[in-house]
Chain A
Amino acid sequence: MSVNKDFFRDRDTNYDFQSAGAPPSGWPAADRLPEALVPTHCCFCGVQCGMYLRVSDGRVTGVEPRDYPHNRGSLCPKGVVAYQQVDHPDRLTYPLIRRGGKGGRLERATWDEALDYVARRWREIQAAYGRDAVAVYSGSSMTNEKCYLMGKFARVALGTRHIDYNGRLCMSSAAVGYDKAFGLDRAPLPLTDIPLTECLLVVGSNVAECFPIAMNWLWRARDNGARLIVLDPRETPTARTADLWLPVRPGTDIAVLNAMLRQIVVDGLVDEAYVAERTTGWEAVRAAIEPYTPEVAERIAGVPAERIVAAARLYGRAARSLVMHARGIEHSTHGVNNVFACINLALARGQVGKPGSGTMMITGQGNGQGGRELGQKANQLPGYRHVDVPADRQYIANVWGIPEPELPYEGAAATEMVHLMAAGEIKSCLVICSNLMVSLPDNAVVQQAIARLDPLVVIDFFLSETAELADVVLPGSVWCEDEGTTTNLEGRVVKINVAADPPGEARRDREIICELARRLGRGRYFPYRSSREVWDELRLATRGGVADYYGITWEKIDAQDGVFWPCPSEDHPGSPRLFVERFAHPDGRARFFAVEYTPPAEEPGNGYPFRLTTGRVVYHYLSGNQTRRLGFLQSQAPEPWVEIHPQAAQWLGIRPDERVRVRTPRGSMELKALVAPTIRPDTLFIPFHYGHREAVNQLTIPAVDPTVKIPEYKVCAAAVERLDAPAPPAGDTAQENFTPETAPKMFPYAVGESRSRAEQEAKRF
């Protein structure tokens, strides 16, 4: 056994000062005392830790701790170095345009040339092919104001139905799960409630690496004596010291969760009074879980039956228990059902609505919560209103000052847009805050699809893998160059403040959008001179909706250290804990949904014996477009690797740290092998933050959940082999359970298809 073994470097700790990655102005300049400390929040994950930025001469020179309720001055490594993005040498400082057409180079352009070109092309395309031929692909790692603006821009300035965002790839399944079960899509309790719990069941979430700050709340619960159970195919830093680790086979979580619930029933631990008083649908669930004995679950999920029973007892006997779940179960062709299986457990135990108990989705993106309720989702208007519900349409049309019939109906989901681009129905797309070439599954297909776009317009502050393929690149702002708010994973609305101006000719995203709207002749609907004006309109637009922001003012956010929505009036303090007395459905009851185990879209078969799963490392954020440019982070995890169990490695003759090839039916890539017994022997893991030939999404399957269209990043069939392995025999196949072609489709609708009363009512959830 070696000591101090680092996967990427043989570190000599006598000499290693971790000095990779200096702030752009250099370390000596960073040494001076700051003129001002700007209170703000981190730009990365959904926790949105409070921080101060050190500012001197209008430049951001460093970071200082800020004692905020949920991070208490702590920061993860991404948060510490986030400030180094501001003056980063890779920043885009002027517009780029591909004058020579698709084969040409991106060349420097003036703002007028770039914006006029985009506006002219969009007018031409929409005149020739209809309004829906131009799409908007937005993102959630930006302020509420910008998310709101993108939805309005698509529907008012462009008048297109096709607007969706990268949250589709993130947690759309959890959103719909909560919406249907509870009537409201938000984590029902704040992070600060976690230490009250007695048992934590973490399902498909590597909290430690993905939400390091949230991990402290888990540890605090354990200090108070809480048990920790982790469901994960890998022994992650979260699972390492857990009381019980259930190493589930990727894609089979429902079998384990249903078996646990069945065991809770057998042990008589169901809270019958709660179930009778506050829920509906329990009988169907009780019948549905009956076949899931521990032995059946063991056969499906590969977790020893006694571990499932023990987990059910630890969980079921705790007076206060909390299920935390994240992408591990949500990135699935049955992602919504996975979420239901978690909710069923908590409801049967009568936990939801009690302090420190229930279920908690862990939203991933910085503004993943706000981004999905402010009207940039294919089927939503601000405030969680539905774009196909007449009353909702009328309200928003009034706020926006347009006639209701002008408001487009539901459009394609992000994952479906790719198919519409490939089919030529979408001719042009505006991409902001997204990096499709890294983040979408099966990215060879994605590349072909976006190559057909003319023009592909990208607003970004670094030249992402997607921007490299764009016809027009507009340089935008990083988070601390504009004011605004974000909504973190607790539902807490926090305030982002300005610490610097955009460099060079770069502009604030809001100004770019308003300018585009003006050139499309719709400037009168976008008169904003500040983010504050957008915020005030946003508050009005969400008023009376499910996600009601009306009572949240910037002053109140500062005074209260964040405000939890719903907050319907200015004298309302906000709602940190939800469902205390009633659920958000009209009858006040939560819904059980009976769920059956269904296999993932693709399972190992002849020639592809492994299950490939993808995930994150602590040093990188999403597609890595930001974090791969920050020296400290990049030096810790400079390239992807494949994690493989020693038994499997031995079987295949793979030595530790050797470069190997991983193949799936869609493609292959070469990377370094990390041989360690921290993963199931039938599973491979590759982190997804990398681009080009290092993107694991060359391999992943494009299958999506039939209802919410979230891709199945977390399981597909794969093979791993040494680089000198002979070519595989022809005819190797994975077992296909269903493909994008055979899966039920949400889109395209014939326009008006979902306008029948019954369907509109159904969409209220």
Chain B
Amino acid sequence: MAVKTLFVDPSRCIGCRACEAACRECDSHKGESMVMVDFVDRGWSVATQPTVCMHCEEPTAPCAQVCPVLAILITPDGVVQQAEPSRCIACRNCVYACPFGVPKMDLQARLMKKCNLCYDRTSQGLKPWCAQACPTQALWYGDYEEFANQRRGHPVNRTAFGTQEVRTRVYHVLGDDRPRLDVVALLDEARAEIGRPPGQREEAWVL
């Protein structure tokens, strides 16, 4: 059976943080959100992006590799679990090791916490809460073929950090390779009719 996983498409994200609100409803970590939504740069744009655990497949998840007490376990189906509370010694190695900045340290509980792909729900065939709630389906749950059939964009699950490539269970969705509409040509055509020079860079507005 095809592997069901998360697809993260920032181009659809509206920054509503429904995923964060919903993550807190998950029975395995009630009241705490393991997903993060960030403005890329609010001083410049309204663009936002959700971050979930990417569930690294190859090499073995760095967080698990660096854990000195083997607290971070990986299920046979490749879901990287959060640190086992009875083992975690709050050393934060995982926080520093994760290339995606996912694990969080709960200072009060002295435990590492992170997304476990809503294992209680996904192991029973339900969607994880974040993708379930996501109003715009910027977080989407399903298998690769389904995604390719339904959606635009180019899913990738290999991320290069310098020379180190990491293959993850979770996919990022990049934009289409070619723009679907040549807006510049359309605007140039209009400019020509109005008698304005083509291709000039302009503000979106006139004051």
Is A305's CB under 8 angstroms from B22's CB? Answer: no
Contact with A along B3-22 (1 / 0, CB 8 A): 00000000110111110111
A675 to B42, CA, bound (A): 9
CB distance from A249 to the nearest CB of B (A): 8
Q: Which of A1, A77, A212, A247 contacts B20 (CB 8 A)?
A: A77
A596 to B42, alpha carbons, bound, how many Å?
38
Residue of B nearest to A683 (CB): B205
CB contact list, B180-200 vs A, under 8 A: 180-181, 183, 186-187, 189-191, 193-194, 196
Taking a contact as CB atoms under 8 Å apart, the answer to whether A216 and B207 are in contact is no
B40 at interface, CB cutoff 8 A: yes
Cα A208 to Cα B135 with chains together (Å): 9
Indicate whether A62 sits within 8 Å of B206 (C-beta atoms), given known contacts A5-B42, A77-B20, A80-B18: no
Q: Are A216 and B137 in contact (CB under 8 A)?
A: yes
The docked-state distance in angstroms from the alpha carbon of A1 to that of B205 is 24
A28, A310, A632, A656, most chain B CB atoms within 10 A? A310
Instruction: Check B41 for interface membership: any CB of A closer than 8 A.
Output: yes
- Are A76 and B42 touching (Cβ within 8 A)? no
B106 within 8 A of A: yes
- In the complex, the answer to whether B15 meets A618 with C-beta atoms within 8 Å is yes
A196 to chain B, nearest CB (A): 15
Taking a contact as CB atoms under 8 Å apart, the answer to whether B44 and A677 are in contact is yes
B10, chain A: closest CB distance, angstroms: 10
Chain B residue nearest in CB terms to A32: B27
Give A1 to B12 CA distance when docked, in angstroms: 22
> Do B196 and A306 touch (CB < 8 A)?
yes
A219 within 8 A of B: yes
In contact, A13 and B36 (Cβ under 8 angstroms): yes
- A138 shortest CB reach to chain B, Å: 29
The proximity string for A residues 288-319 relative to B, scoring 1 for CB distances below 8 Å and 0 otherwise, is 00000011001100111111011001100000
- What range describes how many residues of A lie at the interface? 35 or more
Contact B31 A22 (CB under 8 A): yes
The answer on a CB contact under 8 Å between A240 and B18 is no
Chain B residue with the shortest CB-CB distance to A26: B31
Contact B104 A16 (CB under 8 A): yes
Q: Is B113 an interface residue (CB 8 A)?
A: yes
Q: Is the CB of B31 within 8 A of A245?
A: no
User: Is B45 on the interface with A (CB-CB < 8 A)?
Assistant: yes
Nearest CB of chain A from residue B23's CB, rounded to whole Å: 8
Cross-chain contact B205 with A247 (CB below 8 angstroms): yes
For B135, give its contact among A15, A30, A213, A241 (CB under 8 Å).
Answer: A213
Q: Does B133 contact A (CB under 8 A)?
A: yes
Contact of B39 with A5 in the complex, beta carbons under 8 Å = yes
Interface residues in B85-125 (C-beta closer than 8 Å to A): 95, 101, 104-107, 113
Chain B residue numbers with a CB within 8 Å of A5 are 39, 41-43
Complex contacts, A238 vs chain B, CB 8 Å: 14
Known: A77-B18, A314-B186. A302 touches B205 (CB 8 A): yes
B131, chain A: closest CB distance, angstroms:
9
Question: With an 8 A cutoff between CB atoms, is B134 at the interface?
Answer: yes
Q: Complex Cα distance A16/B38, Å?
A: 12
Residue contact B191 to A306, C-beta cutoff 8 Å: yes
Report whether A18 and B193 are in contact in the complex, using a CB–CB cutoff of 8 Å: no
With the chains together, A237 CA to B39 CA distance in Å? 11
Partner of A18, one of B33, B46, B190: B33
B43 and A675 within 8 A (CB) = yes
Q: Which residues of B contact A30 (CB under 8 A)?
A: 30-31
Query: What are the 4 A-B residue pairs with the smallest beta carbon separation, nearest first?
Result: A212-B135, A27-B31, A309-B190, A18-B33
5 contacts between A and B (CB under 8 A): A6-B38, A74-B135, A75-B133, A618-B15, A676-B42
